[in-house]
């Protein structure tokens, strides 16, 4: 039986539906401001991915189960929907479109995949999973921050006392999910070329530089792809930055 997936539906039914797929350390509270900004023109589904927030979970984890969750949400809004993915959620949304889910338009912000597979032979998913199973959730959070996100050590140390640190530790087990979604860390263009839906690859001007290369490569490879650099933007969900290009794309 599929676990319960908690979601908010905004927009009172008007406009074409769009589903927000968020990334690591995010619950639907993170996406709420952007959902509100889009809801004046679209029906918006903002959900907690499995294992976080108010959503349930089951074992063993598989990326395919997350695709099924998203497919079930698409069914909730009539069987077809646009999808917006952020960070590792963008990788999940990309996989969903390549898998053939009924996605009418695909918008991806800061897709964290590179043009070549990582040469790092460490199995990061296994390493984080081992830390979580040992009850070392804080260490799992810091491993991800340091080794995957690339946060400098002094900032990692400062974040130990952040008020949101307990929430990060509560989601530590889902970092394994993110790492399995990212796989070898590479953008596999052959699989992506199967995506027929119009696709907008957004990237922040102050986001990690490799993301700009990825966005342009993806846009060039797709039948109907476009890349857009949001100058001055960082790797954050800022409605005033993201809503205008998204609304133009979704119209």
Domain ranges in the chain are 7-116+185-250, 124-179
CB 56 within 8 A of CB 7: no
**Which pLDDT does position 79 carry in this prediction?**
96
Q: How confident is the model at residue 91 (pLDDT cuts 50, 70, 90)?
A: very high
**What local confidence, expressed as pLDDT, does residue 218 receive?**
97
Res 81: pLDDT: 97
Would the pLDDT of 205 be above 90? Answer: yes
- Assess whether pLDDT exceeds 80 at residue 249: yes
Each residue's pLDDT tens digit, 21-38: 999 999 999 999 999 999
Quick one: average pLDDT of 158-183? 97
Residue 44, exposed/middle/buried by CB under 10 A (0-12, 13-18, 19+)? buried
d(Cα 204, Cα 161) in Å, to the nearest integer? 28
Side-chain half-sphere exposure of 93, counting CA atoms within 13 A: 32
Using DSSP, how many helices (H) and how many strands (E) does the chain show? Answer: 11, 7
- Largest Cα–Cα separation, the chain: 48
Q: Tell me, what DSSP letter sits at residue 246?
A: H
Q: Name the CATH topology of 7-116+185-250.
A: Rossmann fold (3.40.50)
What is the rounded average pLDDT for all residues in the chain? 95
Asked whether the predicted pLDDT for residue 117 surpasses 80, the reply is no
* Mean pLDDT computed over 43-47: 97
pTM for this predicted structure: 0.95
Residue 118 pLDDT > 80, yes or no? no
Percent of the chain at pLDDT exceeding 70 = 99
Q: How many whole angstroms separate alpha carbon 196 and alpha carbon 200?
A: 12
In the predicted structure, residue 200 carries a pLDDT above the cut 80 = yes
Does 130 have pLDDT greater than 80?
yes
Question: In this model, does residue 13 exceed pLDDT 70?
Answer: no
Residue 191 has pLDDT above 90, yes or no: no
The answer to whether the bond into 60 is cis (omega within 30° of 0) is: yes
């Amino acid at each position: 039986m599929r676990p319960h997936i908690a979601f908010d539906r905004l927009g009172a039914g008007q406009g074409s539906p769009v589903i927000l797929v968020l990334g690591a350390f995010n619950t639907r509270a993170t996406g709420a401001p952007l959902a509100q900004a889009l809801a004046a023109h679209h029906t918006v589904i903002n959900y907690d991915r499995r294992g976080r927030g108010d959503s349930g979970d089951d074992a063993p984890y598989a990326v395919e189960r997350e695709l099924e969750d998203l497919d079930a949400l698409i069914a909730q809004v009539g069987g077809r929907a646009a999808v917006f993915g952020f960070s590792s959620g963008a990788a999940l949304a990309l996989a969903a479109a390549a898998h053939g889910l009924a996605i009418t338009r695909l918008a991806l912000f800061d897709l964290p995949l590179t043009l070549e597979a990582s040469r790092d032979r460490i199995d990061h998913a296994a390493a984080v999973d081992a830390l979580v199973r040992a009850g070392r959730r804080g260490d799992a959070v810091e491993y991800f921050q340091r080794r995957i996100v690339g946060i400098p050590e002094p900032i990692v140390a400062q974040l130990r006392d952040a008020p949101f640190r307990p929430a990060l530790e509560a989601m530590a087990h889902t970092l394994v999910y993110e790492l399995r979604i990212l796989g070898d860390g590479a953008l596999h263009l052959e699989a992506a070329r199967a995506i027929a839906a119009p696709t907008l690859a957004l990237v922040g001007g102050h986001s990690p530089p490799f993301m700009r290369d990825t966005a342009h490569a993806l846009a060039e490879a797709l039948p109907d792809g476009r890349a857009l650099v949001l100058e001055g933007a960082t790797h954050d969900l800022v409605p005033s930055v993201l809503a205008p290009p998204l609304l133009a794309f979704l119209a």
